[in-house]
Amino acid sequence: MDRPLSSVMLAEVYGTFLLTFGGTAAIVAASDAAAFPVGPTLGLGFIGLAFGISLVAGIATVGTVSGAHFNSAVTLALTAAGRFPARRAPAYIVSQFIGATLAAAVLLGIVGQTIASSGGVDLGSTVPNLSLPTPETASLIAEIVGTMFLAFVILGSTDPDSSGTSWGTLGIGLTLAASIWALGSVSGASLNPARSFGPAFVSLLFDKTPIDYYWIYVAGPVLGGLVAAMLYRLIYRRQPA
């Protein structure tokens, strides 16, 4: 039985809030040695696990209600793969953006502006690594590749022929964590337009830099999700009856 749209939207708000808050709070903690002395010793591994575990927790909590997208690129990938009704995609995407924005606002309320902007992390916003020779190009490629992997794992592990949802859930969370470990130092490894929007939007209160680069975190994940949908259609084709 289909859930009411209001329940589904609330589930997506909740799950995206959990994902964004859990991960970005870890970024803030790992970036301010004065406020969180232990944080900087934890590093990228800690941040990747925070995002991955938050994603697994969200799937475990409301996966049976909304399918636990929590990511606009994933919603678009599922739609392009023929696994999700296009008529519901706008409601999902709006819910995800609301959840991520609320998470950033709550985090700002907890840590305050000084800590939120410490070290240029801006509430865990994603920006390119400007030390690279071509930071914007490198970040765009990283976001495409990382999102392609994440979306394809989601599509494959939730395919009707998949062997089990529990392993699939763990695989999805670990894929996000691994992508952050591999690509976080390049682009921040958002892989999610909503997750990047929330901190960038709330950070406009004190810094507009993240919103200037936000286009990367829309274009990259959307393209990566569409590539994943194409691969899914090619690899998971069924023989005609």
Structural domain includes residue 157: yes
pLDDT, tens digit, for every residue of 45-62?
A: 889 999 999 999 999 999
Structural domain includes residue 102: yes
Q: Which of 20-34, 73-87, 127-141, 180-194 has the lowest mean pLDDT?
A: 20-34
pLDDT, tens digit, for every residue of 195-234?
A: 999 999 999 999 999 999 999 999 999 999 999 999 999 9
Q: What is the mean pLDDT of residues 162-175?
A: 78
Which domain CATH number covers 220? Answer: 1.20.1080.10
Domain that holds residue 181: 5-235
- Name the amino acid, one letter, at 172: I
Structural domain includes residue 20: yes
CA 26 → CA 49, 95, 173, 206, 241, distances in Å? 9, 23, 16, 20, 50
Structural domain includes residue 187: yes
Taking 80 as the threshold, does the pLDDT of residue 42 lie above it? no
Q: How many domains does the chain have?
A: 1
